[in-house]
Structure 1
């Protein structure tokens, strides 16, 4: 069986679809990828786990003429490739692919689209419903299977859309990289990385963009360092907000308490030494960094948005606080740092919850979608 995976950019496939490729290879499938090559911008990412890669000039902007060129190139690749399954991802990658694959689908190819978080959801702006909802509903007729990664998207699509709808627990997190370590091992790793046994360590992960709102975490540190003067906040990620965040750190007088890690390819090292993960985004689909921290046995304090609410049950497996409420975020962090029993309880519940989002679990779900009995007609 030949499978073509498409997305707007190749980094998307690298970051989110290796588990799927492993499932397909285990069943003897040949896997190709068509997406724009942006790997030079992503330190450490390599698309070396598929048989063939096509560089297609997709654009995230629906107004870009590049997507017309991409559709023409992709149509030729699909028509010549004789693919059994075409699996598309990302909004523009998904739309262009479904247009290009029209004839292939008529000829018997199965078309799958994974929605990594609809732009319309409870509480989203009305214009999102007016623009994006009818587009997604219309294009649902042009694929055979829609895969959703949040329960809210699944319920909506199951009720309103015109195709088979499935749900999986995200794109999977590698439980061999992210796992709980003993307190003794945590102390050993801290010493190895140059941090003190009793030092309080926090982590905030995400591209440095306004939406990720790392300023909230920096401002929360003002209150945290009053009780723990040597506490450290690690900020992992790169992006255009770097200078603004560095200015915020200086304005708050936290030059000795906030470390900018840049783009980090070994985040598990930090997940294994921290006390708390903080997440401050205004919007999220299904954030991997929270699952990674839960699987590592860490409590999470996060801003309220639909992606965070999908993963965190307030007071049970983590804490949710209002967006931009750095005071309450600091209070919740301090609560966890001061109460080991409460932190241990939340860590345990977070870990057990996150197991459903592990590579092992998600690969089983993907295998059922591709090769389960209900999809026998496609084999």
Structure 2
């Protein structure tokens, strides 16, 4: 039986972004194994990680708990993870390895060099390179040469935004390296749009005051997500009956909580923690904001668009491929809390503009639908192993003969 390995630094990456890929591989007749860190570094709760392990085993997926760190500075632990993955590579006899996340992707591609010479095909999905236009110089000095090196040990490099795609295609060279561009992992547009929710009950559960408008952000609580900007912008709003709901968990909670107290907005900001009903929460929001410093192609923004929310987001790679300024929302500089606050007020007080942006986003996001992405992933898995002699054509938005 054909075998495939799905590898990432942490379990939450696979849970949130790769279950469709696992299902596709199983449909194609592969025995699927998973390798990642189940114990720490996850953006979902410990309870969810444990439940995820059970779900994988129930599907017949073999679980390998490997302590891959998320920090590039934990060299000793990276080396330890490399040794474990190399052992897994030598005994696994995998036909396909699909790896994710910067450190997980590097560890996997280096560990599978020998097996790749024997026929194992290595696929790496870059969920947003750490080197990008405007990135810190240190990012370019560290991550760029590492990714360029590892491209030599990659059969297929999947990029999820156009900037990464163009850079990888022009600068990365490898033995038969194939660089492709996909619109993220895909989202279930119909499911999100038609989610049934008891809005009154959910608002009550989240302690949202009756009659209040809701500004929403869904993201990990980390410095990279730039909550300082959104909180400062929210504090400047001179509107009554507005709350800011933040869905996510992370190590940055205490920092943000202290800032909220300093800004004197404790009674207007609601932390929900990790939630499994984001699609429902989207339907009780009025405006979605996403001030992140760095993204690949954010699922949170795609889902907000599918739910019909106007989106205000930072003008960065990934975000500006999804949100068309003045059409589906507004773009702003990630450091400009004044502009963000102005845009919040405009959307909270202009129902006609919100309705126009709602309709635009629901139509615009259809191309990121899960059926489209899944079709392309299915053929990609087949084509990288040589089982399909077809390639994706952007001109016809479909597959054609080589």
Instruction: Provide the TM-score with structure 2 as the length reference.
Output: 0.85
Instruction: Give the secondary structure class of the aligned counterpart of 2:142.
Output: helix
- Residue in 2 that maps onto 1:345: 356
Superposed displacement of residue 202, structure 1: 0.8
Alignment of 1:59 with 2:62, yes or no, is: no
For 2:384 and 2:148, locate their aligned partners in 1 and report how far apart those are by CA, in whole Å: 27
- Residue in 2 that maps onto 1:222: 235
Superposition CA RMSD, Å? 2.4
- Residue in 2 that maps onto 1:167: 181
| 133-142 vs 292-301, greater mean Cα deviation | 133-142
- Residue in 2 that maps onto 1:365: 376
For 2:260 and 2:194, locate their aligned partners in 1 and report how far apart those are by CA, in whole Å: 30
Contact 1:11 1:38 survives alignment (8 Å): no
| 155-164 vs 46-55, greater mean Cα deviation | 46-55
Alignment of 1:207 with 2:220, yes or no, is: yes
For 1:323 and 1:131, locate their aligned partners in 2 and report how far apart those are by CA, in whole Å: 24
- Residue in 1 that maps onto 2:16: 15
1:158-182 superposed Cα distances (whole Å, 9 cap, x missing partner):
122221111111122343652256x
Superposed displacement of residue 313, structure 1: 1.8
The 1:63–1:241 alpha-carbon spacing in structure 2 relative to 1, beyond 3 Å, is closer
Alignment of 1:1-379 (within 5 A): 1-38=2-39, 42-43=44-45, 44-45=48-49, 46-47=52-53, 48-49=55-56, 51-60=61-70, 61=72, 63-162=74-173, 163-175=177-189, 177-179=191-193, 189-190=199-200, 193-194=203-204, 198-224=211-237, 226-227=238-239, 229-372=240-383, 375-376=386-387
For 1:373 and 1:119, locate their aligned partners in 2 and report how far apart those are by CA, in whole Å: 26
Contact 1:191 1:197 survives alignment (8 Å): no
| 161-170 vs 334-343, greater mean Cα deviation | 334-343
For 1:319 and 1:82, locate their aligned partners in 2 and report how far apart those are by CA, in whole Å: 49
For 1:155 and 1:27, locate their aligned partners in 2 and report how far apart those are by CA, in whole Å: 30
The 1:70–1:121 alpha-carbon spacing in structure 2 relative to 1, beyond 3 Å, is same
The 1:155–1:192 alpha-carbon spacing in structure 2 relative to 1, beyond 3 Å, is closer
For 1:337 and 1:40, locate their aligned partners in 2 and report how far apart those are by CA, in whole Å: 36
For 1:373 and 1:238, locate their aligned partners in 2 and report how far apart those are by CA, in whole Å: 37
For 1:325 and 1:124, locate their aligned partners in 2 and report how far apart those are by CA, in whole Å: 17
For structure 2, the 5+ residue unaligned runs are: 391-402
Contact 1:11 1:39 survives alignment (8 Å): no
Instruction: Give the secondary structure class of the aligned counterpart of 2:75.
Output: coil
Contact 1:216 1:324 survives alignment (8 Å): yes
Instruction: Give the secondary structure class of the aligned counterpart of 2:193.
Output: coil
1:133-181 superposed Cα distances (whole Å, 9 cap, x missing partner):
2221121111111111111111111122221111111122343652256
The 1:215–1:68 alpha-carbon spacing in structure 2 relative to 1, beyond 3 Å, is closer
For 2:100 and 2:36, locate their aligned partners in 1 and report how far apart those are by CA, in whole Å: 10
For 2:231 and 2:384, locate their aligned partners in 1 and report how far apart those are by CA, in whole Å: 51
Contact 2:382 2:388 survives alignment (8 Å): no
For 2:262 and 2:90, locate their aligned partners in 1 and report how far apart those are by CA, in whole Å: 58
For 1:332 and 1:132, locate their aligned partners in 2 and report how far apart those are by CA, in whole Å: 35
1:15-51 superposed Cα distances (whole Å, 9 cap, x missing partner):
1101111211222221101112237953224132351
1:242-286 superposed Cα distances (whole Å, 9 cap, x missing partner):
223223223333222211112222212210110001112222222
The 1:81–1:206 alpha-carbon spacing in structure 2 relative to 1, beyond 3 Å, is same
Count of residues paired in the alignment: 373
Instruction: Give the secondary structure class of the aligned counterpart of 2:387.
Output: helix
Superposed displacement of residue 72, structure 1: 2.3
Contact 2:248 2:275 survives alignment (8 Å): yes
Instruction: Provide the TM-score with structure 1 as the length reference.
Output: 0.90
The 1:55–1:205 alpha-carbon spacing in structure 2 relative to 1, beyond 3 Å, is same
For 2:201 and 2:67, locate their aligned partners in 1 and report how far apart those are by CA, in whole Å: 47
